Structure 1
């Protein structure tokens, strides 16, 4: 059995009024807040701290954002990977999982973000892949509405191919860092992806 802590990089838990509890902390934009959570999870032998994500403030309550803000209903949402990086610096074993959408980010960017998190934390990164369904997220990204279901999932299939392809472009023994010869990495062991598909092209 795996123990996973379901976390929110925001001003409340999944219970919207949690911020009103007398013992609730309000320093949710401070790294120390999340590092404390990470340490508690690691002491409790949790396998993973996992953040969901949303790319827009909820506006379904009362019809606009004012109700959301006034009542503190998940109105602050920080970038999960940045938060996880700070948590990784405060722990040694805790897995670090974040949600990132395949619809609104380029695959090269996601490949680099999670590879960096994985390197910086000694192989502890995890990615929850979503396609994003909410129209308010689409509007934040310059689109009038979310793409249709089949379009999103067709894109996601190719997106994953590109991401995995980039992760495989450096062979495991490519880096030699030979000071005497001046060779840092073996050129024949580092490959361009040169992907050219229906939705994405990436070198």
Structure 2
């Protein structure tokens, strides 16, 4: 398939939606975070519309830093991604299932086994969103006072991913012969020990699960710092990014593809899928009113806490004159550097006050937000796609189910009318549907050397 024919679409599923005020919307179930039926209905909406995948973000901690913001936040009552996606795998047939898991506080063997299991359970529809921990309270849940420094987290991540891929390769595809007559279950000539000894991790192997149906579950990456882009170029097959302007998106797209080529990868092996948060109305005024209602339902304490977090906890916004201009620079954070950089650049470009930036973060977290009619939203998506700023989009519904249903019912038909989105699934696995090749087993390629 030529790149220009169709865009790829995923959808991020948060329990209430991607706007901080979403949980107060009358159409949003207040207990959706722990209701599997709620997630099953959302996934069915996306699958019926032929979305490529559902995407579950995650953090192994409460991310707010005080009771004032925790009391009004809706994100701290939800499922762990692998548990939920395993349940959803039994209720779906075609749609991809993307689980977020940190390389900072997981162990490679555990994660390789969980992802292989999800790929088997789903018939080859699993994907791993590779993240390094970026919220400071995660460290204290794993016996550390502070997160490792930014570069160390990415160095460990690079080693971690290579170990996981190696573990997926330790059994060749046809190693398990399961011959009842001979009594031989596995051909050990097709078993290869990893025996990894690295700077951060030591893993012997082999994995006690056969090779995943996709070879490797699809590898998703979301870093946009220099270290994040380097990792994405090396290992990412789907890259999730926040790019609120077309020009920034084009620069990022060009940079990532160039860096991927430098390490021997082809353009179609790395799919750039920025987030888009659509607020959809049958008229522009209706869309604007939807956004205004969400904004009115979002308490200032929640907005401030979210902005403080995405800026890396380097300032106390409760003590700042909110009507003063955002400075061009802040102290560099050890947390999510790419988002801090993006927000400061956005504030400088638009000459935002702190109050305006706080509202923007609450609305979109720095992603591309489009408020308008289905035609207007489709216009932006098609223009972004055609100008080589995206290979597709990760859709971030402001509310669910309403925002997702609006997108499926109103925007998807418009994209199809313009021949920019498919109407059915064509492959059996997520890799096939994304146009990604199945990786060969590194040990099988090296020849019949037997156990290592």
Q: Aligned pair 1:15/2:40, yes or no?
A: no
2:61–2:138 Cα contact (<8 Å) kept: yes
Distance in 2 (CA, whole Å) between partners of 1:172 and 1:16 is: 45
Distance in 2 (CA, whole Å) between partners of 1:103 and 1:201 is: 15
Matched with 1:151 is: 152
CA RMSD of aligned residues (A): 1.3
Q: Name which of 55, 62, 69 aligns with 1:57.
A: 62
Instruction: Show the 5 A alignment for 1:111-122.
Output: 111-122=112-123
Instruction: Show the 5 A alignment for 1:57-76.
Output: 57-60=62-65, 64=66, 66-76=67-77
Q: Which structure has greater helix proportion?
A: 2
**What is the TM-score with the length of structure 2 in the denominator?**
0.42
Distance in 2 (CA, whole Å) between partners of 1:185 and 1:20 is: 54
Moved more, 119-128 or 132-141: 132-141
Q: Aligned pair 1:24/2:17, yes or no?
A: no
2:100–2:129 Cα contact (<8 Å) kept: yes
**What is the TM-score with the length of structure 1 in the denominator?**
0.92
1:68–1:74 Cα contact (<8 Å) kept: no
Q: Name which of 2, 9, 15 aligns with 1:3.
A: 9
Q: Aligned pair 1:186/2:179, yes or no?
A: no
1:58–1:68 Cα contact (<8 Å) kept: no
Matched with 1:33 is: 38
Distance in 2 (CA, whole Å) between partners of 1:131 and 1:91 is: 29
Q: Aligned pair 1:81/2:82, yes or no?
A: yes
Matched with 1:45 is: 50
Distance in 2 (CA, whole Å) between partners of 1:139 and 1:91 is: 37
- Secondary structure of 1:16 counterpart: coil
2:63–2:135 Cα contact (<8 Å) kept: no
Structure 2 stretches lacking a partner, 5+ long: 1-6, 205-452
Distance in 2 (CA, whole Å) between partners of 1:78 and 1:69 is: 18
Structure 1 stretches lacking a partner, 5+ long: none
Deviations, residues 73-104 of structure 1 (Å, cap 9, x unaligned): 32223211111111111110000001110000
Larger RCO (alpha carbons 8 Å, 6+ apart): 2
Aligned residues: 197
Distance in 2 (CA, whole Å) between partners of 1:22 and 1:129 is: 34
